[in-house]
Amino acid sequence: MSEVEWRRKWKPDLKACPWQPITIGNQQFLFKCKYTHDSYELLITNNCHFWCEHLEGDELESRTISLNPNVKATPTRILDEIQNCLENPSKKTADIVKMNLNKLIIHVDSQLAGMAFVWEFKCQQADSEMISENFNIPLLAMVAELSRRNDELVKVIDAKDKEIDDYKSQGAKASRKHIETSTFVRTAFENNMIMSKEFEQEVKRLGLSGFSEDNQDLYRQIMTRYAYLTRPVAADETDEDSVNEQKTPSLNSWETSRLPASLTDKSPEKTSPGSSPRKSPAKGSSSTETSPAKDTEMMRRQALERKLEDEERKKNEPKKKKKKIAF
């Protein structure tokens, strides 16, 4: 199964949901939440402790009735409002009722269709495996990918500097002086970044601003690819390559399918009406004796086989890019 087909069938889980910043009271948190038509799974952290909650079905309905006895709404509508409370907290009021190592209770006041709506997230301590799968592994993968992209960008900038130097050597000049740039030096750039005020601000935030929209998309793409690479492989999928190999015609099959019948030595002998069957060679003649016509036919056959082999080899060889000649 190709990755495109797998993505169409795959249903993302909590691990594929990106982290988002949220402020509750005066404290900064990161959270991620996975919603279905009748459930939600929440994971939240203050970068020190991790808490989670999974609520679905009857438990979701029971809490809705106990907190909002006058509200009549479908589970889907309730979950939409819960998602709105988490992702758009500006018009909501959220307070921490209780927070310790083992429990985190968050109280939210909102409105649903003009009526007061109250919700409480009652989260328990998350286990180490859940933390690793949703936080440690993805963040390490993001750091590695961003570092790789940084190296690639440096290569692009170096190539641009060489291109600009070539233009200048031929007498080209910038039309406006303020758009001229100095040659990029990686060490100097990194030192400037460390000494900048923005670097100090990011250190104070302890990475809470690290999940911008672009980084959220990067997180989602990394975890989707990770899920594809670690997917359980079905038996029919493992045999797919071998099946394809069986379907690919071999060189021997080409001999019978593409070569003329006159070259395969397998064409039946044709006899005209009234003619006698072909007689076997005389006893004194040799069975290995060849005629000039047969030699010519054999040479044609070998030449055709070599031509077919060359065509097959050229199809399998990667196409070489033509080098552009600078004038």
Q: What is the CATH number of the domain that holds 37?
A: 2.170.210.10
Same domain as 77, residue 30? yes
The terminus-to-terminus CA distance of the chain in angstroms comes to: 47
Categorize the per-residue pLDDT at 306 as very low, low, confident or very high, splitting at 50, 70 and 90.
confident
Side by side, the strands of the sheet bearing 39-45 are: 20-24, 27-35, 39-45, 50-56, 115-125, 103-112, 93-99
Mean pLDDT of the 294-304 span: 71
**Domain boundary residue among 93, 126, 159?**
126
Q: In a 10 Å sphere around its CB, with 0-12 CB exposed, 13-18 middle and 19+ buried, how is residue 244 labelled?
A: exposed
Categorize the per-residue pLDDT at 320 as very low, low, confident or very high, splitting at 50, 70 and 90.
low
Residue 53 included in any domain: yes
User: How much is the pLDDT for 236?
Assistant: 57
Measured CA to CA, the distance from residue 130 to residue 42 in angstroms comes to 12
User: How much is the pLDDT for 92?
Assistant: 78
Percent of the chain with pLDDT over 70: 76
User: How much is the pLDDT for 124?
Assistant: 96
Categorize the per-residue pLDDT at 238 as very low, low, confident or very high, splitting at 50, 70 and 90.
low
User: For residue 151, what are the CA distances in angstroms to 37, 145, 190, 225?
Assistant: 43, 10, 12, 21
Residue 203 included in any domain: yes
The residue with greater pLDDT, 23 or 89, is 23
Count up the domains in the chain and report the number: 2
Mean pLDDT of the 168-175 span: 90
Tokens of 310: 């060359």
Structural domain harbouring 39: 19-126
Same domain as 213, residue 159? yes
The residue with greater pLDDT, 279 or 149, is 149
Residue 294 included in any domain: no
The residue with greater pLDDT, 205 or 7, is 7
Q: Whole-structure pTM over 0.75, yes or no?
A: no
Measured CA to CA, the distance from residue 300 to residue 294 in angstroms comes to 10
**Domain boundary residue among 177, 201, 229?**
229
Residue 299 included in any domain: no
- Indicate whether 118 pLDDT > 70: yes
Mean pLDDT of the 163-180 span: 90
Largest separation between any pair of C-alpha atoms in the chain: 114
Residue 256 included in any domain: no
**Domain boundary residue among 200, 229, 258?**
229
Percent of the chain with pLDDT over 90: 43
Mean pLDDT of the 82-107 span: 88
Categorize the per-residue pLDDT at 195 as very low, low, confident or very high, splitting at 50, 70 and 90.
very high
